[in-house]
Structure 1
Amino acid sequence: MKSGETVYVPSATATEETGFVSIFDGKSLEGWKGDSTYWRVESGNIVGEITPETILQSNSFLVWQGGEPADFELKLEVNISKDGNSGINYRSEVFPGVPNALRGYQADIDGKNSYTGQNYEERKRTTLAYIGQKTTIEPQSPAGELGDNIEGNAWKGLRVTEELGDPDSLRRLMKSEDWNALHLVVKGNVMKHYVNGVLISEVVDEDTVNRRMKGLLGIQVHVGPPMQVKFRNIRLKEL
């Protein structure tokens, strides 16, 4: 810890929510697995950092080792630098051939809040819902190829069923280079992403060929310029 730094201590309110269990002890990466080049614990936070000396060739994840949640709620707080790009992966699987890589659903996070809260499927169907969208993902034929159904970094089977709010207005609820609260509610084939208590995106996944109903949970540092992202107060409630 650097001189003068304040160590974050979760409040009683944060730690006593019914059914939620802390999955980060605030002191170590016990129960998590990733590349220590990019991940550490500092001042009560999990810190993911890319420096000029450690530029990434592919996205790298710190993966929780406590199981493969199916239906769950996840709550945490995140603080990301202006040029940062990160995310929370869930119902994911190890992506073969790439170190510390996951494939699956992601609650996107970025320092400019261009994408924070959207649903992006890492290394698979790409964007499933942008900020301010409730979508249904249409079924895909088993014979279809993933690449044939992706256009402009979004899934062609994405059908917007409801506007949750003006995207720019929703972005103004997110604090830049400060702590924001994320809350994921994942049940059955419905995935809801909240930021600071506001529903930012919702996906109803009817694509039985490509969807996953359980899987790994992890946090990401993304290829790109030097950046830092911090996570704290990570609590999981399995439903």
Structure 2
Amino acid sequence: MADPARLIGLLDLTTLGPTDTEADVEALAARALAPVPGHPEIRCAAVCVWPNFAATAARAVKGSGVEVACVAGAFPFSQSPLAVKVAEVAAAVEAGATEIDIAIHRGLFLSGRHDELREEIAAMKAACGPAHLKVILETCDLPDEAAIRTACRIALESGTDFLKTSTGKGKHGATLGHTRILLEEATAWTTATGKLIGVKPAGGIRNTGDARAYHDLAAEFFPEVTAANFRIGASTLLDDLIAEI
């Protein structure tokens, strides 16, 4: 059973509210750096913020090893011209983001325009430069398991480093069933290509029991579950984990 400290180390601590300010981001970063009083060795994996706060977050966590993840690419719906999405990704990386979370254009996917979707994801991956790319499939918008697998493969073929279930802004967030599909596709890709692919369930994971269930699922696929191969996206889960400690 995963202990709460280990689970905290897998968290992308997130604030994506409509009224976020620099002060909110600085407070989030402070929590990520020292979430448990008296336990300086416990830290979150990343802070996840809007791209306009990339520089603020980068300053706040500088030298700590905590990553700066930014949602970009017209998150959460991807309904903007590709040039705008690419520019937003590039701007976030230039400002200090080390990870970029983009959502796929579900309209392209559902209308069968898969080659266009590959081109979009590949263009945003190129704009990431040294930053890692997490591709959000928004699985609640996809009709069935076959569609989720197809979306995974498009993202993988386009260069993603992580497969992510959800934006947290859709009809529902992660499910264990959808996360299992992502884990199957990620580890199959690693076996075939040698490239490590991570998985990030996000949305609706609010308590320690939920987090443990996702960790245990990941442990079926990875010899060791670490922040390099598995993240949990959450905004309220941390309080429950701290209470356990």
> Same fold, TM exceeding 0.5?
no
Give the TM bin, normalised by the shorter chain: under 0.3
Structure with more of its chain in helix, by fraction: 2
Give the TM-score normalised by structure 1: 0.27
TM superposition score normalised by structure 2: 0.26
Higher relative contact order (CA 8 A, sep 6+): 1
